[in-house]
Amino acid sequence: MAAANSPIHLKHTKSGARCTIYPYGAHLTSYQTPSGKELLFLSRDAILDGSKAIRGGIPLCFPQFGQPDKRMPQHGFLRNNYWSVVEGSMFDDEEGAGISLELELKDALNARGGKWDVDTKFNAKCTYTVKIGENGFTTTIVMENLGETSWEFQVLLHNYFLVHNHMALNGEMCHVHGFEGYAVDDKISGTNYIHGSDPVTIPENIIIDRVYSPPKDGAIDLHLTIAAGPSNNLSLSASGEVDGVKVPVSGVVWNPHKENALAMADFGDDQYHDMICVEPGMLSDVPPLDGGKKASFTQVVICL
């Protein structure tokens, strides 16, 4: 019998692009271009047996990002539960290949807490769709309120991008453009400021852990370009809506640096040189989702 967390491998026949998804967390751990270039970082010490959230790839964060509600685990419960493949959802056509997985709240056995504990009045279903093509991938998460009680939520796609040639701390080779004018909440220094026109780079000596929120009268969707080492340039666009109404998209940039890398058992001690997390999410000014309604959040990652 196949192990419960046997990976699903997809190939887009026409282009040769490939990806790998684990049912535990509906976790995309690899996307490779037709020429074999990997875009996602997966820790060499990642635990893949369904006993812990996978370190790397794209963990899904919902109904909270971080731990604003301390009674609920950090980043919520999606990354700690087994998802089911939606029957008949797998496809492989001219344009791309893909699959959808779903998780209903009643089947989310792990990592619940706070208002979302097992006795909650809330009800929900999440459906996650991954599509791959010649130049990149698209991931979409749809949240559905199956109950009558409205709920508040945050959602975020916690991308770990692979930085080629160990150059994550080299600002010339690894940087993010597109946060000009965004309000920064720097969780490490505890400061708040408006980001200028410089690209975001990982500081040499310290963890970077920052939330970038769009200006109130500015961009709703997020559009970034990411240099992830020599000749590995990506564009990332993300947009979201709640019951048909667009919601502003924030972005988080994180790298654990040496100290935090050493503290994480499932992260290689030196691998902070090999990754940058650039994570789009609906984090603030998200209206509650009413019974019977849907919210959705999509990102498109393209290899430039």
Q: Residue 236: which of 155, 156, 301 has the closest Cα?
A: 301
**Token digits of residue 225:** 């370009």
**Interacting residues with ligand G6P between 91 and 150 (CB under 6 A):** none
**Token digits of residue 50:** 């369904």
Smallest distance, ligand G6P to C-beta of residue 285, A: 19
158 as an active site residue: the answer is yes
Q: Exactly one of 12, 75, 158, 273 is catalytic; which is it?
A: 158
x/- mask, ligand G6P, residues 53-72, rule CB under 6 A, reads: -------------x------
**Token digits of residue 250:** 């924030």
Smallest distance, ligand G6P to C-beta of residue 74, A: 4
One residue of 10, 54, 58, 252 binding ligand G6P per CB under 6 A:
252
One residue of 277, 278, 283, 286 binding ligand G6P per CB under 6 A:
277
Which sign does the torsion angle of CA 138, 101, 210, 48 carry? negative
Q: Residue 81: which of 53, 113, 46, 118 has the closest Cα?
A: 53
Q: Interface with ligand G6P includes 272 (CB under 6 A)?
A: no
Phi-psi region of 190 (alpha: psi -120 to 50; beta: other; left: phi over 0): left
Q: Interface with ligand G6P includes 276 (CB under 6 A)?
A: no
Residue 74 counted as an annotated binding residue? yes
Smallest distance, ligand G6P to C-beta of residue 182, A: 15
Q: Which is nearer to ligand G6P, 132 or 162 (CB)?
A: 162
Smallest distance, ligand G6P to C-beta of residue 189, A: 13
Smallest distance, ligand G6P to C-beta of residue 188, A: 9
Q: Which is nearer to ligand G6P, 66 or 268 (CB)?
A: 66
Residue 79 counted as an annotated binding residue? yes
One residue of 144, 185, 209, 274 binding ligand G6P per CB under 6 A:
209
Residue 55 counted as an annotated binding residue? yes
Distances (CA, A) of 108 to 41, 81, 124, 128, 304: 26, 6, 10, 15, 37
Question: Buried b vs exposed e over 5-26: b needs ≥16 C-beta within 10 Å?
Answer: bebbebebeebebbbbbbbbbb
Grouping H, G, I as helix, E, B as strand and the rest as coil, residue 220 is: coil
Distances (CA, A) of 160 to 2, 146, 277: 27, 31, 4
One residue of 62, 182, 254, 272 binding ligand G6P per CB under 6 A:
254
How do beta strands 183-186 and 160-162 pair? unpaired
What is the size of the binding site for ligand G6P (CB under 6 A)?
A: 8
Q: Which residues are catalytic?
A: 158, 279
Residues in contact with ligand G6P by CB under 6 A are 66, 74-75, 209, 252, 254, 277, 279
Annotated binding-site members for substrate: 55, 74, 79
